[in-house]
Amino acid sequence: MKIKPLKDRVVVKFSSEELEKTPGGIYVPDVAKEKPQKGTVIEVGSEVKEVKVGDTVLFDKYAGSKIKIDDVEYLIIKEEEILGIVEK
């Protein structure tokens, strides 16, 4: 199934990151951290100007609407909710 976002919306696929280990040996999952989330842009709407398909972007933890297709989690967010583009 393919999703085509409307207007200024962007479809982002979550990036899976490894668990962080504290000095005491405790693993901290991403959901417990207060930091921006990272993902890869899969599709963009017709009015999106700043990001393109394939960009890695940062966004707030509670931004947009989460959907699950074929056991893969995606997020549909407005372009203005994207905090930045990760440059390689």
Report the amino acid identity of residue 63. A
Task: Give the angle 35-80-44 at the CA atoms, nearest 5°.
Answer: 105
Within-domain flag for 37: yes
Within-domain flag for 46: yes
- Domain housing 49: 9-17+33-85
First to last CA, the chain: 29
Number of domains, the chain? 1
pLDDT along the chain (88 residues), means of 10: 91 73 71 76 96 95 90 94 92
Pairing state between β 82-86 and 56-59: antiparallel
Residue in 42, 51, 44 with CA at minimum distance from that of residue 70? 42
Within-domain flag for 49: yes
Within-domain flag for 70: yes
Q: What is the CATH number of the domain that holds 40?
A: 2.30.33.40
* Stated pTM of the model: 0.78
